[in-house]
DNA sequence: TTACAAACCAAGCGCTTGCTTGGTATTGTC
DNA sequence: GACAATACCAAGCAAGCGCTTGGTTTGTAA
């Protein structure tokens, strides 16, 4: 399944919003603005202006500003979980599975969904405690995909360090690429970057 | 030189504020609050209350709220540069030097200066463009310490990946530990964590 | 055409924000 | 003990914030 096919099936199941619809367009713009200026510095007037409506009209679609942030995060995790599962299915060996996950996560972080992914990392604290719990449950499913592969690699002897620690390190390292990786300059492609990550781990 | 001796000499040179003085106490509390609630959610009234003065009185010490954020960041980088230099001097081989840097940065991130380090990572966007330029200059000095060691390791053949990319990955991985590493539970010490990082890189 | 809900606008309320102001203690210096 | 300089307080201003309100337009289906 291609990336686009996965997105389409999630839209069909009503798990993520269609980016061409009103709600989806707002969420896309919200992710862009939250990423660019941060959640707190982005006003409901900014959000409304970005989609061409009045600020008050936002509250017809979402009850609060925070609900918008939560929706961005929830839909992002749902999409990414599906993308990672597809990456796993396309690989045979555990080493290839890890490479697939790394490559897919790098693509999520630095591709079209990059803004939403950055929001997930950097605006976490702006979520209310209640919403954090909800989003954490989704994230656990996502993390399990990684841990299973890393644990298999450890059992094979290909990995020396603790799988749990390695996943945490990879989370940080891969997320951080959003602050410096620019494909257009430097000539480093996403595949090249993936190679570097694997080389760094001597895998 | 011990950590404390380094701090003392920086205070003597007026490069960082004495934590027991009025200014230093404010910066410590500011780092704590910025880390806990984020820069935007922290009000000048919060900051003032934390050191037991009126909100207006803050502006006797700092011209703007942002100047407080900048001061936290500048002093943190100055201290850390000194700490890294000390770590390098204490090591002989390049492998040991890298281990020293990793260990020192983990200590900065997860020790007493951890709050300020987290602010440096997560509140970057709240700095005005002008202040960002100033802080970036200091950071370049700091980053050069790392790159020199990584480049030597590459020349030795101990490292396969690109030094520049590896440093960026390490920045992300080590910074991220602040979100999950809790020395009290899990039984993983800072030295143990350092070992894990080195093991992950097969070094 | 009618009926009705969903989508939106124009206006603004109540509150919080960073910062200013004018004045009063406190401290250090000769 | 005189005199600044420094550190602080009490009060509040102007602007911006999230969100509400009452009413109008648009889309849909019988």
Residues 36-55 of A with CB under 7 A from strand C: 48, 52-55
pLDDT level of residue A22 (50, 70, 90 thresholds) = confident
pLDDT tens digits for B118-141? 999 999 999 999 999 999 999 999
Assess whether A43 (CB) lies less than 7 A from strand D: yes
The minimum CA-CA distance between A38 and chain B, rounded to whole Å, is 7
Chain A residues whose beta carbon lies within 8 Å of the beta carbon of residue B193? 165
Nucleotides of strand C under 7 angstroms from a protein beta carbon? 7-12, 16-22
Enumerate the domain spans of chain B: 3-200
Whether B199 and A161 lie within 8 Å, measured CB to CB: yes
Residue closest to sugar C1' of C20 by CA: B56
pLDDT tens digits for B42-97? 999 999 999 999 999 999 999 999 999 999 999 999 999 999 999 999 999 999 99
B1 has pLDDT over 80: no
The pLDDT of B135-150, averaged and rounded, is 96
CATH number of B3-200: 1.10.357.10
The pLDDT of A143-147, averaged and rounded, is 97
pLDDT score recorded for residue B65: 97
- Rounded to two decimals, the ipTM of the complex is 0.89
pLDDT averaged over every residue in chain A: 94
Q: Would you put residue B186 in left (φ > 0), alpha (ψ -120 to 50) or beta?
A: left
pLDDT score recorded for residue A203: 83
pLDDT score recorded for residue A1: 76
Contacts 24+ apart (CB under 8 A), A140-143: A141/A81, A142/A77, A142/A80, A142/A81, A142/A84, A143/A167
B185 has pLDDT over 80: no
pLDDT score recorded for residue A202: 85
pLDDT score recorded for residue A52: 93
The pLDDT of A22-46, averaged and rounded, is 95
Residue closest to sugar C1' of C8 by CA: A57
d(C-alpha A152, C-alpha B141), whole Å = 41
pLDDT score recorded for residue B165: 94
A185 has pLDDT over 80: no
Chain A residues whose beta carbon lies within 8 Å of the beta carbon of residue B199? 160-161
pLDDT averaged over every residue in chain B: 94
Question: How many CA atoms within 13 Å lie on the side-chain side of B120?
Answer: 26
A46 has pLDDT over 80: yes
d(C-alpha B26, C-alpha A199), whole Å = 44
Whether B169 and A200 lie within 8 Å, measured CB to CB: yes
pLDDT level of residue B167 (50, 70, 90 thresholds) = very high
């Amino acid at each position: 399944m291609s990336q686009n096919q996965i997105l389409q099936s999630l839209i069909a199941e009503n798990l993520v919003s269609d980016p061409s619809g009103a709600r989806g367009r707002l969420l896309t713009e919200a992710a862009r603005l939250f990423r660019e200026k941060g959640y707190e510095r982005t006003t409901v007037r900014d959000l409304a202006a970005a989609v061409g409506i009045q600020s008050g009209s936002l509250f017809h679609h979402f009850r609060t500003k925070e609900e918008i942030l939560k929706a961005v995060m929830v839909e992002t995790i749902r999409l990414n979980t599906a993308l990672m599962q597809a990456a796993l299915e396309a690989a045979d060996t555990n080493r290839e599975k890890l490479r697939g996950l790394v490559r897919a996560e790098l693509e999520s972080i630095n591709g079209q969904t990059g803004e939403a992914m950055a929001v997930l990392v950097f605006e976490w604290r702006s979520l209310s405690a209640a919403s954090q719990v909800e989003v954490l449950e989704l994230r656990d499913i996502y993390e399990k995909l990684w841990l299973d592969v890393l644990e298999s690699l450890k059992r094979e002897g290909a990995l020396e360090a603790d799988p749990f620690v390695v996943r945490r390190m990879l989370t940080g390292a891969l997320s951080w690429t959003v602050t410096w990786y620019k494909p257009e300059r430097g000539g480093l492609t996403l595949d090249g970057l993936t190679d570097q990550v694997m080389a760094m781990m001597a895998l």
